[in-house]
C-alpha cells in the first residue's frame, strides 16, 4: 500500500476532513483516513499519536480557517467605528457558527465533541477570540466611544455574555424563532455597559 503523494501533515488533515465529512466523527477511523491516502494506518501514527490527536488537529485547523481567519479580517481591516466593528464581529461569529452547524454538520459535530476533550486547544482558541474583541475595545477607547475599561477583561465578559449564541453546546437553541431578538437584547445591554 503506497501513495504517490508526499505524506505531510496537511495531506493527512485534508484526507481526515474528507473522511469525517463522509462518515461523521463517530464512525471515522484512522484506518479510513489511511485508506484514502493509500498508506498504512501505522504511517499516520507517526504524524498523530491517536485518533483523538488527529481529530484535534483537524478541529484546530478548521477553527483557524473558518472562525479565527474571517474574524481577524474584521479586527484588522474594518474602517468604521468600534461599536459597528464589535457588532459586525459578533454577528459574523454567530452567523458562521450557525451556518457551519447546518452546512458542515459532520465537522461541526466533531468540533462540538472536541470542545469537551481538548481543553488546552479550545482555551487557546477562546483566548484568540477574546484577544480580537480586546483589540476592538482598545480602538473604541482610543476613539472615546467606550468608557475606560480593561480590554481583555471586558472582552472576556462580552465573549461569555454572548456564548449562548455561538458556543456549540447551545446549537439546538439557535433554531428558536426569538434567538435574534434575544441576542439584540444582550447586545443593547453590552453597548450600554461599555459606551461613553
Residue 2 lies in a domain: no
pLDDT digits (tens, 9 = 90+) for 33-51: 999 999 988 888 889 888 8
| Enclosing H/E stretch for 128 | helix 119-142
Say what the pLDDT of residue 5 is.
53
Tell whether 136 and 169 lie within a shared domain: yes
| 130 and 186 part of one domain | yes
CATH number at residue 19: 1.10.10
Domain range for 112 is: 55-194
CA geometry: angle at 122 spanning 138 and 65, to 5°?
75
Of 88, 190, 174, the closest CA to residue 132 belongs to 88
Could you give the percent of the chain with pLDDT greater than 90? 70
What's this model's pTM, rounded to 2 decimal places?
0.90
Co-location of 28 and 123 in the same domain: no
Q: Are residues 35 and 104 in the same domain?
A: no
Q: Which region among 5-9, 14-18, 152-156 has the lowest average model confidence (pLDDT)? A: 5-9
Residue-wise pLDDT tens digits, 44-76? 888 988 888 898 999 999 999 999 999 999 999
Judge whether residue 7 has pLDDT over 90: no
What cell was used for 36? 484514502
Contact (Cβ atoms closer than 8 angstroms) between residue 34 and residue 5 = no
Per residue in 115-139, is it b (16+ CB within 10 Å) or e — as a string?
beebeebbeebbeebbbbbbbbbbb
Q: Report how many domains make up the chain.
A: 2
How far is residue 165's CA from residue 73's CA, in Å, rounded to a whole number? 21
Q: Are residues 71 and 140 in the same domain?
A: yes
Asked whether residue 82 is assigned to any structural domain, the reply reads: yes
Whether 75 is in a domain gets the answer yes
Asked whether residue 107 is assigned to any structural domain, the reply reads yes
3-state DSSP assignment of residue 54: helix
Whole-number Å distance between alpha carbons of 86 and 91: 9
76: left (phi over 0), alpha (psi -120 to 50) or beta: alpha
Half-sphere CA count of 175, side-chain side, radius 13 A: 4
Q: Would the pLDDT of 3 be above 90?
A: no
Residue 169: per-residue pLDDT: 93
Residue 160 shares a structural domain with residue 73: yes
Both 91 and 187 in a single domain?
yes
Give me the CATH number covering residue 65: 1.10.357.10
Amino acid at each position: 500500500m503506497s501513495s504517490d503523494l508526499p505524506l505531510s501533515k496537511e495531506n493527512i488533515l485534508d484526507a481526515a476532513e474528507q473522511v469525517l465529512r463522509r462518515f461523521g466523527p463517530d464512525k471515522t477511523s484512522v484506518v479510513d483516513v489511511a485508506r484514502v491516502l493509500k498508506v498504512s494506518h501505522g504511517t499516520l501514527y507517526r504524524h498523530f499519536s491517536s485518533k483523538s490527536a488527529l481529530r484535534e488537529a483537524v478541529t484546530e485547523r478548521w477553527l483557524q480557517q473558518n472562525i479565527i481567519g474571517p474574524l481577524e479580517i474584521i479586527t484588522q481591516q474594518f474602517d468604521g467605528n468600534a461599536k459597528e466593528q464589535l457588532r459586525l464581529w459578533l454577528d459574523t461569529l454567530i452567523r458562521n457558527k450557525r451556518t457551519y452547524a447546518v452546512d458542515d454538520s459532520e465537522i461541526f459535530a466533531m468540533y462540538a465533541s472536541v470542545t469537551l476533550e481538548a481543553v488546552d486547544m479550545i482555551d487557546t482558541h477562546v483566548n484568540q477570540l477574546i484577544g480580537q474583541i480586546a483589540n476592538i475595545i482598545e480602538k473604541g477607547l482610543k476613539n472615546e466611544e467606550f468608557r475606560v475599561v480593561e480590554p481583555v477583561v471586558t472582552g472576556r465578559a462580552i465573549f461569555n455574555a454572548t456564548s449562548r449564541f455561538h458556543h456549540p453546546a447551545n446549537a439546538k437553541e439557535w433554531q428558536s424563532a426569538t434567538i435574534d431578538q434575544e441576542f439584540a437584547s444582550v447586545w443593547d445591554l453590552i453597548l450600554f455597559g461599555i459606551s461613553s
